[in-house]
Amino acid sequence: MQAKNYFTDSESKYCVYKNAKAVIIPVPYEKTTTYIKGTKNAPRAIIDASKKLELYDEELDAVTANIGIATLNPLKACQIAQVMLNEVKARCLSVLNDGKFPVLIGGEHSVSLGFLLALKEKYPDVSVLHLDAHADMRDEYKGSRHNHGCIMARIREHSSAVSVGIRSLSVEEAKIIKKNNYKIFWAKDKTDIGIWAKDILAALGKNVYITLDADVLDPSVLPSVGTPEPDGLSWNEVLKIVKAVFKKKNVVGFDVMELCPSPFNKGSDFITAKLIYKMLGYKFFITSGGI
Ligand SMILES: [Mn+2]
């Protein structure tokens, strides 16, 4: 199950599954993307780029890799959504049952439902922090309820969720959000990120799953995504939000989805790898205190 090609280029003793506190679960699944294709290549690109990361984190004064970060073999992509979801759920659950912290890397966003269902077995009250340019609230899209544009509609059937950075949606999605009074932090309303972070914390429960679509970041920071949208969050804004959540909540798992690697912008792969590494650092090296 453990991959030979693993996240970071840390000494191999830290990457052995039995010693690892965190486990990377690569899911190179892509079936329903609609604009630029290629997110199935993201897990490989992220892992390749991660080997060039500096392992010392100057913000945390720590070498995050020393917690032990194992990497599983990429999940075999199957084109039947329900089978894929079941496999993602089973793999995430086995990592959770081993007492380790799961990090899923996609692949398209639709498989996050399998991760949520695994987390719910352990943490029935888990709430979801969703960072994304898109609302992803279509009940069905292009004939499938498991289209990547439906993921938050599926997730909200099981858990409460807070969506942050949203700046692209259909009129039907806007109606659903208004009707149900869903908590959305619109990109257009972003002013003071510290105030946002406090409001986001207030809207989340104790146990939190973070699902992050790479397109939440502004395309000037991270252009290689399938459906880029202007006026996204900066690197620092995303870090400030997730840091506050890691500090104040029990984050029980996270995913980073929808990077769409481009041969013309390898930097996006590296920045995504660094984001994952920063989030792992926050999980294991920051303690509760003020924000
Ligand atoms: Mn998106």
Compute the average pLDDT of residues 119-126: 98
85 contact partners, CB below 8 Å, separation of at least 6: 110, 111, 113, 114, 117, 146
Question: How far is 40 from 106, CA to CA, in rounded Å?
Answer: 7
Q: How far is CA 289 from CA 132, 281, 286, in A?
A: 27, 16, 9
Compute the average pLDDT of residues 20-29: 97
Ordered alpha helix ranges (H), 98-187? 112-122, 151-155, 171-180
Which strand (E) or helix (H) includes residue 93? helix 81-97
Ligand 1 centroid – CA 290 distance (Å): 31
User: Per the structure block, which two tokens stand in for 19?
Assistant: 């010693």
Compute the average pLDDT of residues 203-213: 98
Ligand 1 centroid – CA 283 distance (Å): 24
Is the model's pLDDT at 64 over the cut of 90?
A: yes
Ligand 1 centroid – CA 185 distance (Å): 14
| DSSP at 99 | T
Is the model's pLDDT at 291 over the cut of 60?
A: no
CA atoms within 13 A on the CB side of 148: 24
Yes or no: say if 73 and 18 are a contact pair by the CB < 8 Å rule. no
Average pLDDT along the chain? 95
Ligand 1 centroid – CA 148 distance (Å): 8
Q: Of the ranges 76-85, 214-223, 239-248, which one carries the lowest mean pLDDT score?
A: 76-85
Compute the average pLDDT of residues 234-245: 98
| Residues in the chain, overall count | 291
Q: What is the pLDDT of residue 35?
A: 87
The DSSP result for 50-72, as a single string, is HTTS-SEETTTTEEGGGG-EEEB
Ligand 1 centroid – CA 215 distance (Å): 5
Question: How far is 67 from 54, CA to CA, in rounded Å?
Answer: 15
Ligand 1 centroid – CA 106 distance (Å): 12
Yes or no: say if 17 and 1 are a contact pair by the CB < 8 Å rule. yes
Ligand 1 centroid – CA 133 distance (Å): 5
| Predicted TM-score of the model (pTM) | 0.96
Which strand (E) or helix (H) includes residue 255? strand 250-257
Ligand 1 centroid – CA 58 distance (Å): 30
Yes or no: say if 280 and 67 are a contact pair by the CB < 8 Å rule. yes
Q: Which domains does the chain have, with CATH numbers?
A: 12-285 (3.40.800.10)
| DSSP at 92 | H
